[in-house]
C-alpha cells in the first residue's frame, strides 16, 4: 500500500472501533498546582506513540509523559509544551487585531485563535484499545435504501458529481492542510477525505466534488445563493451541512430553508440525492447552543428515500463525555481540529462505503492526490 493510501486508511479507520486508535488529539493544560494532563477516549492497552500534531516529533515515555488513571500526564521535566488554565481562560481580553479572546459566558474570557495555533499546541496519541468504555454515540450504516442511485454509480464507476454546501466547517477551516498557512501533516478537509475514500474504496476515478460552502453563512444565505450554486449545477449527490451559524433561527425556519435548498438542487437534477449533516457543537463556554440541538430532529425527519442523515452533534456529544472541547477544537469556539474532521469524514463516508479496519496504516504525511 502506498504511503498516501496508508495515511488515507489511517484517517478513515473508525475511531469507535477496537484496535489501533491513530493520532487521537489532546491539548495538555493544567490548573494551578496540578500537572498537565488530558483524558483519552478509551482505556489504552498500550500507547504506541505520543507525537506533536505535525507527527514529526515523538516524545519519550517516562521522561516526557506517563499514562496514569486513563490520562496522559506530563511529569516534572517534560519537554512537551503545555498551557495553563489562565492562558486558555484569561481574566482580561486580549488584543482585538487579530482577535485573540472571546467573552466567556461565566465571566472572563476564553482564548480564541484561527489558523493553526491550536493544532500546534495539541498532541497526537496512537494506542491500542478494546473500546472500553463502550462507545455510545452513533455509527454510520450503509445507506442502501436512502442513497441507491449514488451507490449504484459508485459500484459501476459511473461518473459521479457531488456538491458540498454549508458553512466554515464544511469549507474546512482549521484543517492542517487548509488555507494560506497549512501545517504538517497537511490533512485535507473532511469533504476531500470523504471523496478520496469513496474513490479508493470503489476504485472509482471519476468522482468530482465541488465544495461551495462559505464561512460564516447560515441557511438563509444558502437559500439566497441556491439558484446559482445548486439549481444551475446538476449534481448526483448534495451534502447540506449548515447549522452552526443558525443557532438563533427557529427550527421551523431551518426546516423551510433546508427544503428550499433541496428543491433548488432538484431543479438541476430531479433524481439528485442528499446527505443532511447536523452540525457539531459550539463551545458552551463561549455561547449557548441555542436552537442548534433542535436541528437534528428537523433533518432526521427530512430523511427518507434519496435523503440520508448524519448526526455529527450526537457524535460530538458522545466524544465530549470522555474528552474536553479543547482536545478536539481548531479555534476553541466552533471549528473542529484534524481529529474531529476525520470523525466527520468517517461518519459521512460510512453511509456510502465500508470503512477500513482499525489496524496499522501508519504513514507520516499525505501524498498529493
Question: Tell me: domain 148-349, CATH 3.40.50.1110, correct?
Answer: yes
Give the number of other Cβ atoms within 10 Å of residue 359's Cβ.
12
Tell me the pLDDT of the chain (369 aa) as tens digits: 577 889 999 999 999 999 999 999 999 999 999 999 999 999 999 999 999 999 999 999 999 999 999 999 999 999 999 999 999 999 999 988 889 999 999 999 999 999 999 999 999 999 999 999 999 999 999 999 999 999 999 999 999 999 999 999 999 999 999 987 799 999 999 999 999 999 999 999 999 999 999 999 999 999 999 999 999 999 999 999 999 999 999 999 999 999 999 999 999 999 999 999 999 999 999 999 999 999 999 999 999 999 999 999 999 999 999 999 999 999 999 999 999 999 999 999 999 999 998 875 444 344 434
Per-domain residue ranges of the chain = 3-129, 148-349
The CA dihedral of 310, 16, 207, 176, to the nearest 10 degrees, is 100
Rounded CA separation 84/166 (Å): 34
pTM of this prediction exceeds 0.75: yes
- Asked whether the beta carbons of 219 and 258 are under 8 A apart, the reply is yes
Instruction: Identify each DSSP E strand in the chain by its residue range.
Output: 19-27, 29-30, 37-39, 44-52, 66-68, 71-73, 83-84, 101-103, 109-111, 122-129, 160-166, 207-211, 237-241, 273-278, 307-311
Q: What single DSSP character describes residue 102?
A: E
Amino acid at each position: 500500500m502506498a504511503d498516501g493510501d496508508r495515511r488515507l486508511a489511517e484517517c478513515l479507520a473508525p475511531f469507535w472501533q477496537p484496535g489501533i486508535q491513530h493520532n487521537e488529539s489532546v491539548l495538555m493544560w493544567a490548573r494551578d498546582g496540578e500537572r498537565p494532563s488530558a483524558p483519552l477516549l478509551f482505556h489504552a492497552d498500550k500507547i504506541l506513540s505520543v507525537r506533536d500534531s505535525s507527527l514529526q516529533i515523538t516524545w519519550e515515555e517516562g521522561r516526557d509523559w506517563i499514562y496514569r488513571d486513563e490520562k496522559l500526564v506530563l511529569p516534572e521535566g517534560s519537554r512537551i509544551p503545555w498551557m495553563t488554565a489562565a492562558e486558555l481562560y484569561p481574566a482580561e481580553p486580549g488584543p482585538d487585531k487579530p482577535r485573540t479572546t472571546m467573552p466567556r459566558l461565566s465571566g472572563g474570557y476564553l482564548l480564541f485563535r484561527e489558523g493553526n495555533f491550536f493544532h500546534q499546541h495539541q498532541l497526537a496519541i496512537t494506542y491500542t484499545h478494546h473500546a472500553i468504555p463502550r462507545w455510545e454515540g452513533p455509527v454510520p450504516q450503509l445507506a442502501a435504501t436512502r442513497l441507491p442511485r449514488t451507490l449504484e454509480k459508485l459500484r459501476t464507476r459511473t461518473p459521479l458529481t457531488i456538491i458540498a454546501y454549508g458553512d466554515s466547517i464544511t469549507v474546512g477551516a482549521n484543517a492542517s492542510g487548509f488555507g494560506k498557512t497549512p501545517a504538517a501533516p497537511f490533512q485535507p478537509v473532511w469533504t476531500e477525505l470523504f471523496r478520496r475514500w469513496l474513490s479508493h474504496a470503489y476504485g472509482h476515478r471519476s468522482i468530482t466534488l465541488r465544495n461551495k460552502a462559505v464561512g460564516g453563512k447560515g441557511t438563509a444565505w444558502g437559500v439566497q445563493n441556491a439558484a446559482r450554486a445548486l439549481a444551475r449545477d446538476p449534481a448526483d449527490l448534495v451534502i447540506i451541512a449548515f447549522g452552526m451559524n443558525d443557532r438563533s433561527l427557529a427550527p421551523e425556519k431551518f426546516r423551510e430553508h433546508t427544503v428550499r435548498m433541496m428543491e433548488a438542487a432538484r431543479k438541476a437534477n430531479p433524481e439528485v440525492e442528499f446527505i443532511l449533516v447536523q452540525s457539531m457543537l459550539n463551545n458552551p463556554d463561549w455561547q449557548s447552543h441555542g436552537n442548534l440541538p433542535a436541528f437534528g430532529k428537523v433533518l432526521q425527519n427530512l430523511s427518507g428515500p434519496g435523503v440520508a442523515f448524519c448526526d455529527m452533534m450526537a457524535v460530538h456529544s458522545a466524544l465530549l463525555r470522555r474528552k474536553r472541547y479543547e482536545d478536539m477544537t481548531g479555534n476553541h469556539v466552533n471549528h473542529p481540529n484534524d481529529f474531529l474532521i476525520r470523525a466527520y469524514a468517517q461518519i459521512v463516508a460510512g453511509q456510502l462505503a465500508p470503512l477500513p479496519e482499525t489496524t496499522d496504516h501508519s504513514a507520516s504525511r499525505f501524498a498529493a492526490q
